[in-house]
Chain A
């Protein structure tokens, strides 16, 4: 069983950071809603509040790691220009997608949107985390702050969802390949 270095980076970017972030988003939305709407009688403990702060910081790190690895590690491989006369475009995902009318949309719509919309996720979650950390349980006393934190967490989820969907589909039709081959396990003899 082996994997190329570029495929490994794509996996780290998409599954390690992106998918984990999307999973974390659903939990954060529920927790933020519960935290900021709970009545004083069922108020959360300082330990729970600390946990949510750490959870949000982890989400901020995941979101920035996803967009930075995407833009500065994966994207250069994706958009690399093929030398003139290249017939095998498998090492040039963007050119491969654009060479076929049935797949060009995954670049012209999918990647063109994904490469920009993805950045709204870390911007939004950084804001939501900052406000929650700054105000703690106090957003329960600021109705509009609470609405903004929840709203921007949802925006972050939607942006990451759009980027994740197009990332997965683009990688299905034109995977980023190449680089050093890493052997994960020795194959059994047939």
Chain B
């Protein structure tokens, strides 16, 4: 049975969903990058030293700054590519949420310590 929305949409979408898809996917990728960088900084003393951007905060400064830069750069690139397109959002959402769940799990110390 189709939902009421798919049967009788109130209005046709006025704006292509590409910008939204870019924002959603980049948020997932940025969060996942933060989790991966946090593990890398914890496991490798060379990476840890490299990621000390602000000494009083330690490697957390580099982990978060690098992750935010990755997030924003990917967001801008995806937005420029997808702005005028209609994207298969079901797949994009699924990837973004899986990345977000992985990010939560990978930052959880008992799981991060497995690596």
Report the bound CA distance from A83 to B110 in whole Å: 30
Chain B residues near A (Cβ < 8 Å):
3, 5-6, 9-15, 17, 19-20, 23-24, 26-27, 30-31, 34-35, 38, 54, 56-58, 60-61, 63-64, 67-68, 71, 89-90, 92-93, 96-97, 100, 103-104, 107-110, 112
0/1 interface trace, chain A 128-150, chain B, CB 8 Å (1 if under): 00110011001111111101100
A142 engages B57 (CB within 8 Å)? no
Residue tally, chain A, CB below 8 Å to B? 41
Report the bound CA distance from A92 to B8 in whole Å: 62
Report the bound CA distance from A105 to B94 in whole Å: 34
A151 engages B97 (CB within 8 Å)? yes
Name the distance in Å between A145's Cβ and chain B's nearest Cβ: 5
Report the bound CA distance from A144 to B20 in whole Å: 10
Secondary structure at the A interface, as helix, strand, loop or mixed, is helix
B63 engages A116 (CB within 8 Å)? yes
B57 engages A144 (CB within 8 Å)? no
A117 at the interface (CB under 8 A from B): yes
**Please, which residues of chain A bring their CB within 8 A of the CB of B110?**
109
**Please, which residues of chain B bring their CB within 8 A of the CB of A148?**
20, 24, 89, 93, 96
B9 engages A116 (CB within 8 Å)? no
- Interface residue ranges of A75-119 to B (CB < 8 Å): 75-76, 79-80, 108-109, 112-113, 115-117, 119
Chain A residues near B (Cβ < 8 Å):
39-40, 67, 71-72, 75-76, 79-80, 108-109, 112-113, 115-117, 119-120, 123-124, 126-127, 130-131, 134-135, 138-145, 147-148, 151-152, 155, 158-159
- Can you list 26 A-B contacts with CB-CB less than 8 angstroms, sorted by A residue number? A40-B10, A71-B60, A72-B54, A75-B57, A113-B109, A115-B60, A116-B107, A117-B108, A119-B64, A120-B34, A120-B103, A123-B30, A123-B68, A124-B27, A126-B27, A134-B20, A138-B13, A142-B17, A142-B20, A145-B89, A148-B89, A148-B93, A151-B93, A151-B97, A152-B27, A159-B104
